Chains A and B, each alone.
Chain A
């Protein structure tokens, strides 16, 4: 992957790709934090290096801390589904095209099939299982039921989460905004007409209730 060495340094969370590569030269002297995790200091900040073995990580999911031990190559989606039995997010395209695996990370909808679990540490993750409150469906979930915005239902949890994130950002969307803003999720059964109606209903109920985040 030599071509990516040409990428400019863009430090994020205190470490750039180049400084990371420099850091890996010191790997022999790196202290072991716990099995599978090492720590180095880069530009004054401590940075964890995972792998190649399984490493323990802590995730914050639906408000609760969850500890799992995964290989660094494990995606957030596989971690949710295979380690934590949170199977609402679905594996479909496996490469950030269809949106069936959508979860919310630090307020933004993401494709969990294309985020590594180790990169989700320290971030707030909301899955479809975390939308219900006090055993009651979230208004967008209820709107999906009321408008039959689902058939086989395999894309539905991802769509519900994407709609929640979309409405948080666009409380009163126009039809054009809906069609653009929800273009990152695909359905095979063809439930888009119901989804459009569901988004309209949920937007209206949120506006009426004066609530933004349900």
Chain B
């Protein structure tokens, strides 16, 4: 029985090193073909006519003029008369035409009559939300909240929130679908689920699951919004069928992408915290609401990380709004719950006149089994941002209109490995191929597969041909929830170990040794520790004769190569201009553990990227809804703002590696570091200006309003 474990630290050649992603050259040269880039012979351009109203009943649809237009090849009513539309941008009619211009002309020629119905799109002020839109989702009570608050020597109350934001993938959602014959579809989607999206489409088209061939080499962002085939995927295939099977490219326009293809639920929470004067937290109370569009959202992890606060009373309402449906957004619910919890706890620390680092450490046991990791990470983060030197009690910074402050937040994530199969083939000429139905979202999955296979076989990275992005390869899970790296590295390791063991068995007689006395290292097969009894990789593979070796590795499987649960700490250093309300990031630091790091370079990129995404939602992002029309006011990238290269300040990342971390196996990293930036930045702003800006994004108007409520920018804050 083979033993599956990772090599000892001193024996690792590739694992844990800083390795450039192997598809980097193709990405920088424009050779990487994304779904949006694929031009098929005879391809038609697809377009969807969408509802302009947030809540309406379709009365009639007239497609006759569009159907008669030259170049229009298919028109299909997606939702017919009588249908109740629940959000602006919902799909009504699909069109396929010879080119983009013709499809746009045809869309303008379609006449739809609506009967408008009352909508609700704003939920920040719960008092204004009609009762029938409020759905209690979960109430919770632990310990004795009354007793907890009566024991408290100090209580703090606050209101915190974060507006709904959208994913804004740079490559919009969409696909190219074509019928290669009467019952087979070739699908080029932009998906996080190469192995499962074909089955979803087949089910809708009522054809066998194996009849949809999915291919995707590159995806331009997903962040949790691209797991499903979506209605536009199904209708794209239907339009292709109507057009005689011709390929139809249907990619969402930017406004549709922002309106309907991504949304992270909003959250608002009225919080009360009780503590003793020494900083011991005694009680937590929260009343939380928010929306994930229709129908709402699930139970939220509040209080976040400090889950063992002894006495808790929690209420939660889900508000149903006429907004595009929520999709998983990188670390679903965690960034919002971190904001609520860490803001309330820093406000408690301020009320106690305690340094928040001391306050968090004082209560660190309330975080559970990984309390010591958090303590170590807090101390490391404080060192990186020079907390002791730069922190001041809330609002007590230097004189002048520009105020500087520090803030912090901590977070957690699971990141357990998803199921994954891997085929690794060693050919008699020495070539090695790896096949897996996974996808590389830009996290570096291709590179991880290469590193693990090359490490196991003792080969250089360019000796492995990595083949992914096809549902005819062995199935691997969807890439979401930081489950990919653990899953794919485990199945690859097992496949490579098994394939190697078969090779070693073949060549052992020639080296006059038992297979288990051999190792693969430095491009050779040799007797362990005896380089004089060796043969090159090519010579060894030649012993296979004509028959390649293919081994299938599986996750889950024998041995523990991956695990779950990580912690992280982030700290922010900001400056706030109290005359303009503009928040500027000076520096963000992240301390993060993720078990065994496969590629330190791409791992750090994940953390940097997550922090930058955090700056975006902390300072800029908001899906602004118009109460009167029910429509999104900023479905474009001028007014749905993302941070630019000059908006992010300096950043520093420290990965917790080595003994105690490496031996936990591989754990996913995509989600955790995106959780804390919003809370850390909001806390830093509060520390700077001496008053809490309760809701994200921290736009200048809100900063000035908070300062105004406190007595104006010139008041002593």
Which A residues lie at the B interface, using CB under 8 A? 71, 73-74, 78, 81-82, 85-95, 97-98, 100, 127-129, 131-132, 137, 141-142, 144-146, 148, 150-157, 160, 178-180, 182-196
Contact = CB atoms under 8 A, between A and B. Distances in A.
Contact of B32 (A81, A146, A153): A153
B563 to A, nearest CB: 25
Contact of B637 (A74, A88, A186): A186
B150 to A, nearest CB: 46
Contacts of A88: 29-31
Given A92-B637, A95-B638, A190-B611, A156 B644 contact: no
B191 to A, nearest CB: 13
Given A100-B170, A153-B218, A186-B642, A81 B37 contact: yes
Nearest to A182: B645
11 contacts: A87-B30, A127-B30, A150-B24, A152-B221, A157-B30, A182-B644, A182-B646, A188-B221, A190-B616, A192-B612, A192-B648
A141 to B, nearest CB: 4
A154 B30 CA distance: 9
Nearest to B653: A193
Contacts of A179: 644-646
Given A148-B605, A156-B27, A190-B613, A90 B36 contact: yes
A150 B605 CA distance: 8
Contact of B254 (A94, A153, A189, A194): A94
Question: Which 6 residue pairs are nearest across A and B when measured between Cβ atoms?
Answer: A88-B30, A190-B612, A154-B220, A152-B442, A179-B646, A190-B609
Contacts of A82: 39, 99-100
A93 B254 contact: yes
Given A78-B100, A146-B20, A95 B636 contact: yes
B27 A150 contact: yes
Interface in B627-657: 636-638, 642-646, 648, 651
B171 A152 contact: yes
A157 B254 CA distance: 19
B25 interface: yes
A78 B37 CA distance: 11
Among B27, B253, B443, chain A packs the most CB atoms within 10 A around the CB of B27
A160 B608 contact: no
Given A98-B170, A132-B29, A146-B20, A151 B443 contact: yes
B33 interface: yes
Among B222, B253, B604, B645, chain A packs the most CB atoms within 10 A around the CB of B645
B29 A137 contact: yes
Interface string B96-108: 0001110000000
Given A87-B30, A150-B24, A191 B605 contact: yes
A157 B100 CA distance: 23
A87 B21 CA distance: 21
Nearest to B674: A190
A131 B30 CA distance: 10
B637 A98 contact: yes
A188 B642 contact: yes
A145 B28 contact: yes
B609 A191 contact: yes
B171 A154 contact: yes
A145 B30 contact: no
B441 interface: yes
Nearest to B38: A87
Contact of B646 (A144, A154, A183): A183
A90 B100 contact: no
Which range holds the interface residue count of chain B? Answer: 35 or more
B394 to A, nearest CB: 29
A144 B642 contact: no
B602 interface: yes
A97 B612 CA distance: 19
B682 interface: no
B171 A90 contact: yes
B101 A151 contact: no
Interface string B447-471: 0000000000000000000000000
Contacts of B100: 78, 82
Contacts of B251: 91
Given A98-B637, A156-B28, A185 B220 contact: no
Interface in B212-258: 218-223, 251, 253-254
B380 interface: no
A31 B196 CA distance: 58
Contacts of A131: 29
Interface in B14-46: 20-21, 23-25, 27-34, 36-37, 39
A153 B33 CA distance: 10
A71 B103 CA distance: 14
B601 interface: yes
B101 A73 contact: yes
B218 A151 contact: no
B168 interface: yes
A78 B21 CA distance: 30
Contacts of B613: 188-190
A141 B27 CA distance: 9
A93 B25 contact: no
A87 B605 contact: no
A128 B673 CA distance: 32
A153 B220 contact: yes
A152 B220 contact: yes
B169 interface: yes
Contacts of A189: 221, 442, 609, 613
Contacts of A146: 20
Contacts of A160: 28
